[in-house]
Amino acid sequence: MRSEDLAKLIGVSRSTITRVINNYPDIPQATREKVWKAIEKYNYAPNASARKLAGAKNKMIAIVVLDVKSDAPHHLKTTDDTLIHNNPFFAPVINAVSDQANKLNYYVIISIVYSREDLKKVESIFNQKMIEGAIFVGTQEEENEFIFKLIKQGYKIAMIDTSAVYSKEHNAIYINPDNYEGSAKAVNHLIELGHENIGIITGSLNKLSAKERLDGFKETLSYNGLKLSEDHIFQGDFTEDSGYEGIKYIFNASNMPTAIFISNDTMAIGAYKAITELGLTIPDDISIVGFDNSFIAPYLTPPLTTIDISFADIAKRATTLLINSIEAKEQNGIVEKINATLINRKSCKRI
């Protein structure tokens, strides 16, 4: 059914149908009701392509998830040996974006990017005018040029879990976890439990999140008058293996720490293995705090005390701001951090 058909059925012009649907002012209540009743009755819905072509917004955004293979804690194989995305952020982010967009009457196209080649396909989504804007997840510095070009073309862009540094003039929406606060909470927890000799396994320090987590760690330590000896810092790379190595390295130190802050849960898994191999037990011999509150954290033995950053909250906020920005027709640079909270489980002991 076309608007014209519906119009004839109730004796108005199709302009009137459009006006009612799009909530134009100056339409008598009676007309409004007549039209809406007919819309319901005949289950009429305006053709999305026709609307968009005629100049209306199509209420479509994309969620673009950048390849996070290297960060994924576990790999599953599909039949043709491509990795599937098993990053713990994936499900909550997709879910929250979809739910929030839906709530605001928007539709979302999903796109997962594994390569430069794939980025071209994403570009074509914009070029074909399929969407008004997009949320990018996990971009690195390298993608900035691509993204800023899109913004210049008038598209609205939100970025979450970006490791690229924010630049005000580019007018993107940046929503990130408060990594600094998260580390601070981890350290404060340990200090409250009486720990004074605390080590750290960092993430890849070319990533913003790893840097912020390290900063929060160091500054909270020094704020509390505690020292950090060089051989209690191990630079990991967010992988399970580097967590394992980190423990082996730190436990070689002359003066062993009583607690270790590990910059993500994936590395904590490796750390647990190394600690078990050394014949030590958590938390009796060593207290551990992780970061991310990944889905496996409660299933480790002992359950891992860790920092929760709600990726659902981040994604939801990004979606809201993106859609606001689309409706407002103007993009203003926005930077927000989402709170981190400590999830207290069984991997720390009072000393």
Terminal Cα distance for the chain, rounded: 73
What is the smallest separation between the CB atom of 325 and DNA, expressed in angstroms? Answer: 18
Using CB under 7 A as the binding rule, whether residue 54 contacts DNA is answered as: yes
| CA pair distance 195, 351, nearest whole angstrom | 7
Interacting residues with a copy of itself (CB under 8 A): 43-53, 58, 60, 63, 74, 76, 78-79, 82, 84-86, 90-92, 94-96, 98-99, 102, 107-112, 118, 121, 124-125, 127-130, 295-296, 299-301, 310, 312-313, 316
Tell me the backbone φ, ψ of residue 166, rounded to 5 degrees.
-70, 135
The least distance separating a copy of itself from the CB of residue 88, rounded to whole angstroms, comes to: 9
Minimum Å gap between C-beta 43 and a copy of itself is 7
3 in contact with DNA (CB under 7 A): yes
* Residue 192 lies near DNA (rule: CB under 7 A): no
Positive or negative, the CA dihedral 89, 95, 98, 102 is negative
* Smallest distance from DNA to CB 45, Å: 7
Q: Of the two residues 14 and 218, which places its CB atom closer to DNA in the complex?
A: 14
Is residue 134 within 8 A of residue 319, CB to CB? The reply is no
Question: Is residue 125 involved in binding DNA (CB under 7 A)?
Answer: no
Q: Which tokens sit at 15?
A: 């302009």
Secondary structure element (H or E) that encloses residue 324, with its range: helix 311-328
Those residues with Cβ within 8 angstroms of residue 292's Cβ, 6 or more apart along the chain or in another chain: 88, 264, 265, 266, 306, 307, 308, 309
103 vs 227, which CB is nearer to a copy of itself? Answer: 103
How far, in Å, CA of 1 to CA of 16, rounded?
16
Q: What is the token pair recorded at 299?
A: 């299933």
Binding test (CB under 7 A) with DNA, winner from 38, 51, 125, 188: 51
Token look-up 């060089």 returns: 230
Minimum gap (Å) between residue 9 Cβ and DNA? 13
Q: Determine if 55 is a binding residue for DNA (CB under 7 A).
A: yes
* Minimum CB distance to a copy of itself, residue 318 (Å): 13
Geometric angle at alpha carbon 135, from 133 and 139, rounded to 5°: 125
Q: How far is CA 219 from CA 180, 205, 213, 223, 286, in A?
A: 9, 16, 10, 6, 22
Quick check: 279 binds DNA (CB under 7 A)?
Answer: no
One of 27, 84, 165, 335 touching DNA (CB under 7 A) = 27
- The minimum distance between CB 320 and DNA, in angstroms, equals 23
Which two tokens mark 104?
A: 């605001």
Which residue of 18, 171, 235, 320 would you call a contact of DNA, by CB under 7 A? 18
Instruction: Residue 110: name its binding partner from a copy of itself, DNA, none (Cβ under 5 to 8 Å by kind).
Output: a copy of itself
DSSP string computed for 278-314: TT--TTTT-EEE-SS--TTGGGSSSPPBEEEE-HHHH
Binding site for DNA (CB under 7 A): 1-4, 11-19, 21-22, 26-28, 31, 44, 46-47, 50-51, 53-56
